[in-house]
A and B are shown apart, each in its own frame.
Chain A
Amino acid sequence: SQKIEQNSEALNIQEGKTATLTCNYTNYSPAYLQWYRQDPGRGPVFLLLIRENEKEKRKERLKVTFDTTLKQSLFHITASQPADSATYLCALGNNDMRFGAGTRLTVKP
């Protein structure tokens, strides 16, 4: 069956460091992969999309990679700040969308 796994439930890092979150998937060939941010009590907010033929995408302090051979995406936040603390979700799709369970990131001052 199709599976999406995000590396850990929680990740704690120090302010200024780079946070790296992992999204692995099996039995699936998505055309694209998206990353979302979710704050407590709110709906997910779209951050970045990367297509299967793209290796890397950047947006300000965010960087996403997509390796269709390894079936893995890495999501990096450089120069992390306490305001980056949130849950980050990866999502894969074609017509339907499947989400990972998320990684809760805490950036400590």
Chain B
Amino acid sequence: EAQVTQNPRYLITVTGKKLTVTCSQNMNHEYMSWYRQDPGLGLRQIYYSMNVEVTDKGDVPEGYKVSRKEKRNFPLILESPSPNQTSLYFCASSRGADNQPQHFGDGTRLSIL
């Protein structure tokens, strides 16, 4: 089954403790992206990747890092999480950037205390 898988689905942690949210897709998609979703603000793009070893900042990249060493994986790293990064995070993938529907994972709910 074609899917985007995120782990963990839920995480409660404390300020400053490094964490990684993994994202994996099995559709051989070139384009992958991370979003955060906050009430009233909608989905905001954090980082995106057009292909392996190519990443670019989205609208809200501060406090996040990503890497794209393999086509299928696109982890999101919070080196020193802070409470304002408490949010619902989505990973998405598509065949390309232009004109392609995005396939989303089911989300990761992060709470940073």
Instruction: Tell me the residues in window 22-80 of chain B with beta carbons closer than 8 Å to chain A beta carbons.
Output: 33, 35, 40-45, 48, 50, 56, 58-59
Q: Besides A95-B50, A101-B40, 17 other CB < 8 A contacts?
A: A34-B102, A43-B4, A43-B90, A43-B92, A43-B107, A45-B104, A46-B101, A49-B99, A89-B43, A95-B56, A95-B98, A96-B45, A96-B59, A97-B33, A97-B45, A97-B48, A100-B42
Which B residues are in CB contact (< 8 Å) with A91? 43, 102
Asked if A63 is at the interface (CB within 8 A of a chain B CB), the reply is: no
Enumerate chain A interface residues (CB-CB to B < 8 A).
4, 31-32, 34, 41-46, 49, 51, 89, 91, 93-102
Give B55 Cβ to nearest chain A Cβ, in Å. 12
B98 & A31 in contact (Cβ 8 Å cutoff): yes
Instruction: Report how many A-B pairs have Cβ atoms within 8 Å.
Output: 62
Which A residues are in CB contact (< 8 Å) with B105? 43
- Scoring B43, B58, B101 by chain A CB atoms within 10 A of each residue's CB, the highest score goes to B43
B56 & A44 in contact (Cβ 8 Å cutoff): no
Number of interface residues of B (CB under 8 A): 26
Which A residues are in CB contact (< 8 Å) with B112? none
Asked if B97 is at the interface (CB within 8 A of a chain A CB), the reply is: yes
B43 & A96 in contact (Cβ 8 Å cutoff): no
Which B residues are in CB contact (< 8 Å) with A46? 101-103
A97 vs B60: C-alpha distance when bound (angstroms):
12
A43 & B104 in contact (Cβ 8 Å cutoff): yes
Cβ-closest chain B residue relative to A97: B45
Give B112 Cβ to nearest chain A Cβ, in Å. 20
B97 & A95 in contact (Cβ 8 Å cutoff): yes
A91 vs B43: C-alpha distance when bound (angstroms):
9
B97 & A51 in contact (Cβ 8 Å cutoff): no
Give A97 Cβ to nearest chain B Cβ, in Å. 6
Can you list 13 contacts pairing A with B, beta carbon distance less than 8 Å? A42-B107, A43-B90, A43-B92, A51-B99, A89-B42, A89-B43, A94-B97, A96-B48, A96-B58, A97-B33, A99-B42, A99-B43, A100-B42
